[in-house]
């Protein structure tokens, strides 16, 4: 079964980007090479946080939960709790 990880990237301006992938390292390379329209020309991006491996369904739920926080205190709480 394929496992996914939720990841959070951060750029030098302090902007966060949240996504999910089967291969976080490859996905980071894609973000930094301009292959993602949402992060293109806003990098360089660095990996700020990543989850443990999980199912696609669980990864989507966590990704959406983080995105709903919009970088607020709930976002930080979730990242530090490992949820």
Q: Quick one: which H or E segment has residue 5?
A: strand 5-10
Instruction: List, for residues 49-61, the tens digit of each pLDDT value.
Output: 999 999 999 999 9
pTM score, whole prediction = 0.87
Residue 8 β-bridge partners:
18, 49
The Cβ of residue 80 has, within 10 Å, a number of other Cβ atoms equal to 9
* Residue located via tokens 């970088």: 71
Grouping H, G, I as helix, E, B as strand and the rest as coil, residue 4 is: strand
With beta carbons less than 8 A apart as the criterion, state whether 16 and 9 touch.
yes
Starting at the edge strand found earlier in the chain, the sheet holding 16-21 runs: 16-21, 5-10, 46-50
Give percent of the chain above pLDDT 90. 69
Q: Which domains does the chain have, with CATH numbers?
A: 5-81 (3.40.1440)
């Amino acid at each position: 079964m394929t496992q996914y990880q939720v990841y959070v990237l951060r750029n030098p301006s302090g902007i966060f980007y949240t996504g999910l992938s089967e291969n976080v390292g490859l996905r980071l390379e894609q973000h930094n090479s301009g292959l993602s329209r949402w992060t293109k020309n806003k990098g360089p991006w660095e990996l700020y946080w990543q989850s443990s491996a999980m199912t696609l369904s669980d990864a989507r739920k966590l990704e959406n939960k983080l995105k709903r926080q919009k970088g607020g205190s709930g976002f930080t709480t979730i990242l530090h709790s490992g949820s």
